[in-house]
């Protein structure tokens, strides 16, 4: 099996599953309970928070555990909008965001907020000057995806954060779900106030994430009830999931330095070899994140290619996993200026630390064969 769909989800480390099982069985108490079982669970939760903070380079109290990227993005964006709507209702973002933020902005527009969607260039990137030009006295939030989940385009997050130092009342949120463990990002140096990550993107389990909330930032809670997560997210904590996610984060951080270079080499090699296949074009820019390569075969439906490769036990995707079942063209590729035909025929390869050059070679061989066969069918029609 060759698994090149790691931007959709990664396979959990065995050690992560072992941690989840052990904590589930031995630390099953509610962390809010006053008896010894509850206290033991609470101590473990605090230890996990301290380790996560150390790995991310932030304060312990700045770590808020969530259910993943979607909740983290929603809490950051809606929580900021509702908290500060009294002093402004203007938000700035890009037109190539993930669905979990894009749909959140649309919902806020229905609530009376004004959202400015910055247009990207042919590399899928916005400029600091665009952000500056869009700022108004009503702006309360700038929200930007760090690494695009479809193309691997990298936004100038640190530069945007530097600009926003001049506007201390504007909250800066970064969707770092695709960047964590693949494209380094220093939260403090980038002047980031809120940052979302998701455990299953770095070999943790689904249903766990972290929202970094800079000390001093206040969010209107989406979930109310208990006082968990310093009042920003009510609900009994998933101690086993948190412990497993932090284990995965530590393991991924330890591997990332060498693995990033290897992924980049595989990515570049695949780009060259795929361009040698008649009819194949590359949509991802250079430079880009080391783990994502977006291709198109205009004239051939991408879902047909996905299924044909699956027969070879090679697994890739079309757009992001959240949008892959929708037939419309990729909004990301359209925003980059590609034709509807090219944006409708895109496939995505995404890698992780364990992928090898041997797998890449096998993919190219199978991909070339699949494209040639499907083109014969199309030409006969």
Give the chain's radius of gyration (CA, Å).
21
Q: How confident is the model at residue 321, as a pLDDT?
A: 52
Identify which of 182, 208, 205 has the alpha carbon closest to the alpha carbon of residue 351.
Answer: 182
Per the annotation, the verdict on 274 as an active-site residue is no
User: What is the chain's pLDDT, residue by residue, as a tens digit (381 residues)?
Assistant: 999 999 999 999 999 999 999 999 999 999 888 999 999 999 999 999 999 999 999 999 999 999 999 999 999 999 999 999 999 999 999 999 999 999 999 999 999 999 999 999 999 999 999 999 999 999 999 999 999 999 999 999 999 999 999 999 999 999 999 999 999 999 999 999 999 999 999 999 999 999 999 999 999 998 888 888 887 887 878 999 999 999 999 999 999 988 999 999 999 999 999 999 999 999 999 999 999 999 999 999 999 999 999 999 999 999 755 544 556 899 999 999 999 999 999 999 999 999 999 999 999 999 999 999 998 876 766
Catalytic residue among 128, 135, 322, 362: 322
The rounded distance, in Å, linking the Cα atoms of 59 and 369 is 52
- pLDDT score recorded for residue 78: 97
Cis peptide before 118 (omega within 30 of 0): no
Q: What is the pLDDT of residue 195?
A: 98
Residue with tokens 């072992």: 18
**Long-range Cβ contact pairs of 215-218 (< 8 A, separation 24 or more):** 215/59, 215/61, 215/62, 217/171, 217/193, 218/83
Cα–Cα–Cα angle for 347, 353, 358, rounded to 5 degrees: 70
| Nearest C-alpha neighbor of 81 from the set 209, 213, 215, 221 | 221
CATH entry 3.40.640.10 includes domain 14-251? yes
Region of 343 on the Ramachandran plot (φ > 0 left; ψ -120 to 50 alpha; else beta):
alpha
pLDDT for 371 equals 95
Structure tokens at 9: 């989800």
pLDDT at 227: 80
Q: What is the CATH number of domain 2-7+255-380?
A: 3.90.1150.10
Cα gap 309→246, rounded to integer Å: 34
Closest CA to 132 of 159, 112, 97, 102: 159
Main-chain phi, psi angles of 25, to 5 degrees: -85, -35
What are the strands, taking DSSP E only, across the chain?
A: 2-3, 63-66, 90-94, 114-118, 139-145, 171-175, 194-198, 209-213, 281-282, 292-296, 314-315, 346-350
Residue ranges covered by each domain of the chain: 2-7+255-380, 14-251
């Amino acid at each position: 099996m060759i698994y090149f769909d790691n931007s959709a989800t990664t396979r959990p480390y065995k050690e992560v599953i072992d941690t989840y099982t052990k904590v589930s069985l031995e630390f099953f108490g509610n962390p809010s309970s006053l008896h010894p079982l509850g206290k033991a669970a609470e101590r473990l939760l605090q230890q996990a928070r301290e380790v996560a903070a150390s790995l991310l380079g932030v304060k312990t109290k700045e770590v808020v555990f969530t259910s993943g990227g979607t909740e983290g993005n929603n809490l950051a964006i809606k929580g900021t909008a509702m908290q500060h709507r009294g002093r402004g209702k203007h938000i700035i973002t890009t037109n190539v965001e993930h669905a979990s933020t894009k749909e959140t902005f649309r919902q806020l527009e229905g609530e009376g907020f004004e959202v400015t969607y910055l247009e990207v260039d042919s590399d899928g990137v916005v400029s600091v000057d665009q952000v500056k030009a869009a700022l108004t006295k009503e702006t309360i939030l700038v929200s930007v995806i760090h690494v695009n989940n479809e193309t691997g385009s990298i936004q100038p997050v640190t530069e945007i954060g530097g600009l926003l130092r001049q506007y201390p009342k504007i909250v800066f949120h970064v969707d770092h779900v695709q960047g964590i463990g693949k494209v380094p990002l220093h939260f403090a140096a980038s002047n980031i106030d809120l940052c979302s990550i998701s455990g299953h993107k770095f070999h943790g389990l689904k249903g766990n994430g972290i929202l970094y909330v800079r000390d001093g930032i206040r969010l209107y809670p989406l979930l109310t009830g208990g006082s968990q997560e310093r009042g920003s997210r009510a609900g009994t904590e998933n101690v086993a999931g948190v412990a497993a996610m932090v284990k995965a984060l530590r393991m991924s951080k330890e591997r990332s330095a060498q693995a990033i270079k290897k992924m980049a080499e595989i990515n570049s090699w695949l780009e060259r070899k795929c361009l040698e296949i008649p009819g194949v074009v590359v949509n991802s820019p250079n430079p880009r994140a080391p783990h994502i390569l977006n291709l198109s075969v205009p004239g051939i439906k991408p879902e047909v290619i996905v299924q044909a490769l699956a027969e070879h036990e090679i697994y890739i995707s079309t757009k992001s996993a959240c949008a892959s079942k929708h037939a419309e063209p990729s909004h990301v590729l359209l925003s980059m200026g590609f034709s509807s035909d090219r944006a409708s025929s895109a496939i995505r390869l995404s890698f992780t630390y364990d992928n090898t050059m041997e797998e890449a070679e096998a993919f190219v061989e199978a991909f070339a064969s699949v494209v040639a066969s499907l083109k014969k069918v199309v030409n006969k029609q």
